[in-house]
Amino acid sequence: MSAPALAEVDLPLHEVNVGAEYRAAVGGPPADGKRYGSTEPRVVTPPRRLLTPESSWGFRVIEFATDVLRVHLYPWQRSFVIRLLERNEDGSLRFQTAVLLVGRQNGKSTISKVLALWFMLEMEWPLVLGTAQDLETAEEIWEDAVNLLLEETDDEDDLSDFVERVIQTNGKKALILNNGSRYKVKAANRAAGRGLSGNLIMLDELREQKNWGAWGAITKTTQAQDFALVLGLSNAGDALSVVLAYLRKMAHAAVGDPDGLNKVTPASGPTILDIEASLEEDDELFEDDDPEDWEQDEETLFLAEYSATPGIDRRERSGWAQANPLLGYRIRERKLASDCRTDPEWVFRTEVLCQWPDGTIDGIFPPGSWEDTTNVPETLPDGTQRVAEADRIVGPIWVGLDKSADRSQTWITFAGHREDGLPQVEVRAVRHGDDWVKGWLLEHEWRDRFQAVTGQGRGAPISDLLKDFDEDPTFGIPVEPWSGGDLIAAHGQAFEDIRDGKVRHNKQPPLDAAAATAVRKDLGDGWVIDRKRSPSDVASLIAWLAALWLMKKRVAETPAAPPPAALEDAPNDDMHDSWTTSDLNTIGF
């Protein structure tokens, strides 16, 4: 039975099949005239039958939190666990995959630790696996759960009696109960679920999964289980949040597409390219996978989305309440008012209103021009796609560098000419930090083709690294700082080149997303990309602009060189040809 569409119900979805027992268990805000956050999600998968203690384990979770853990759950948290743990008529869990979307600082971690301990102590599920893009985040939730069990109390039955062992080794932390249940933590990457067979999988900050590798690895741990639940928790994502966007679109479609997310681009899961891009050169984890293995069944997908209504004025306080269910409880309205005044608009909308920027920003190029200058990959007989021979850089290469605004990742781009003489610019690598950049460049197989390297010379996250390279006698590649009027000129020239079809680029999701969502900052008679106001990471696009500027500056009149002889016989699946190079795995190719 499919979830009812909006047109099939007389009430808002959050009021369908709730009843008196649900309302009594959930409660609501006090009647003191203050503004409180919404107890119910704005968008939610409706129950199939009346929510009662017989039809949902959530009632038991609330009692467990209150009576055993001494943890107070707020009304919205009670609503969530009751809806999440709805049961089929045969007693099994209705949902196998669930997504919670809510503004920051609204108590997601409390839900995680309560559910983890309930499934371990009461249901005795063998393995709880907590993950996050940052291992430290997953470990913090784990440590809170451990502390709840080890906390000294006056109760006759001390919870510590249930603990057999706590492993505190960095990277291998685990809580083991005397009933055999384990709670482990892993970073969200391709190796996260290797060798494990999980039951409750909790993925914090699901928005940070920019490709399908971690999702495939972690969720595959539940395939051999008779009972399992994958729970993703996050605030709003952006154009790069491919996993979260897919699940959210599918869940919205199942309830009538209230925000119109599927009108232009329906939900689409991973393709064979996504799976191949998640392979390391020596990793056979997904070798036999089919895209259908990773697709989500809408019948077993649950969504609870606390977000402000699309298009609402960010100053409208009813929207604050929609996305922040702890408003009035732990979140002060005055604090949100201050954030509204001082935060860049899309920072406030994403972090506080839990709104997605995709589809709301026009980008910096004329509509359709970026798509028109995108190379079309060629498809091999086995269905594999790769960059076409005509779309590869030949001859000299100019290198652009940039670092994400939060300094978490460094991007490398190459600019050069194709055989037809047109400029071609493409992202070649991205990794965390910047310690790897020098070695990557100096040891690259094309090192002898590098003419120079550039990046913003002043006031940017990459500037210090450029300075280090310039002063390092062992670096050996000329460094050309990009600053002042050249910044404005480069943005204007790139705009014209894209508009007039004078430069080409490959289909690369992070770069495409940055081009679609980047925001301009006006400077005099020109403009540059505004890092802070752009809703997604634009470092890849800035590095792309830098490489194009450097090439045009250095060799405006230089004809394209023929391909080096050493490259003519290179295999098609070699590093420079392939869509599956390990250097590009982390950016969704």
Q: What CATH number has the domain bearing residue 577?
A: 3.30.420.240
pLDDT on residue 265 = 66
- Same domain for 156 and 202, yes or no, is yes
How many C-beta atoms surround the C-beta of residue 89 within 10 A? 9
Residue, of 468 and 385, whose pLDDT is higher: 468
**Chain-centroid distance, C-alpha 362:** 21
pLDDT over 70 at 191, yes or no: no
Closest to 50 measured CA to CA, from 71, 21, 90 = 21
- Report residue 393's pLDDT band, with 50, 70 and 90 as the boundaries: very high
- Same domain for 406 and 458, yes or no, is yes
pLDDT over 90 at 381, yes or no: no
pLDDT over 70 at 7, yes or no: no
Within a domain: 13: no
Q: Which of 320, 351, 382 is the last residue of a domain?
A: 351
pLDDT on residue 216 = 73
pLDDT on residue 284 = 43
pLDDT over 70 at 575, yes or no: no
Helix axes 75-84, 108-121, angle to 10 degrees: 50
Within a domain: 21: no
- Same domain for 210 and 248, yes or no, is yes
Within a domain: 80: no
pLDDT digits (tens, 9 = 90+) for 129-149: 988 877 887 888 999 999 989
pLDDT on residue 271 = 61
Question: Phi and psi at residue 561, in whole multiples of 5°?
Answer: -90, 155
Give the E-state strand segments of 495-566 in sequence order: 520-523, 526-529
Within a domain: 51: no
Q: Return the minimum-mean-pLDDT range out of 46-60, 215-229, 319-333, 541-555.
A: 215-229
Q: Which of 321, 351, 381 is the last residue of a domain?
A: 351
- Same domain for 413 and 530, yes or no, is yes
Within a domain: 62: no
- Same domain for 149 and 204, yes or no, is yes
pLDDT on residue 224 = 53
Within a domain: 33: no
- Same domain for 346 and 377, yes or no, is no
Rounded Cα–Cα distance for residues 235 and 580 (Å): 30
- Report residue 573's pLDDT band, with 50, 70 and 90 as the boundaries: very low
What is the domain-level CATH number for residue 334?
A: 3.40.50
pLDDT digits (tens, 9 = 90+) for 331-354: 999 999 999 998 877 778 889 999
- Same domain for 396 and 473, yes or no, is yes
How far is the first Cα of the chain from the last one, in angstroms, to the nearest whole number?
36
Q: Which domain holds residue 561?
A: 369-587
Q: Which residue blocks in 189-290 are alpha helix, DSSP H? A: 213-219, 242-254, 272-277
Residue, of 462 and 367, whose pLDDT is higher: 462
Within a domain: 26: no
- Same domain for 302 and 379, yes or no, is no
pLDDT over 70 at 421, yes or no: yes
pLDDT on residue 467 = 95
Q: Which residues contact 270 (CB under 8 A, 6 or more apart)?
A: 212, 216, 242, 246, 291, 294, 295
pLDDT digits (tens, 9 = 90+) for 534-546: 877 899 999 999 9
The structural domain count of the chain equals 2
pLDDT over 70 at 445, yes or no: yes
- Same domain for 429 and 291, yes or no, is no
pLDDT digits (tens, 9 = 90+) for 211-260: 777 777 776 666 556 678 999 999 998 767 888 988 999 999 999 999 98
pLDDT digits (tens, 9 = 90+) for 205-221: 898 887 777 777 776 66
pLDDT digits (tens, 9 = 90+) for 462-504: 999 999 999 999 999 999 989 989 999 999 999 999 999 999 9
Kindly state the tokens that stand for 194. 């290797």
Q: Which of 317, 351, 385 is the last residue of a domain?
A: 351
- Same domain for 329 and 381, yes or no, is no
pLDDT digits (tens, 9 = 90+) for 270-320: 665 555 555 443 344 444 455 555 566 788 899 999 999 998 999 999 999
As a whole number, the mean pLDDT across the chain is 84
pLDDT on residue 385 = 76
- Same domain for 412 and 344, yes or no, is no
Model pTM above 0.85? no
Closest to 456 measured CA to CA, from 406, 493, 401, 511 = 401
- Same domain for 131 and 214, yes or no, is yes
In this prediction, residues 547-563 reach a mean pLDDT of 70
Within a domain: 134: yes
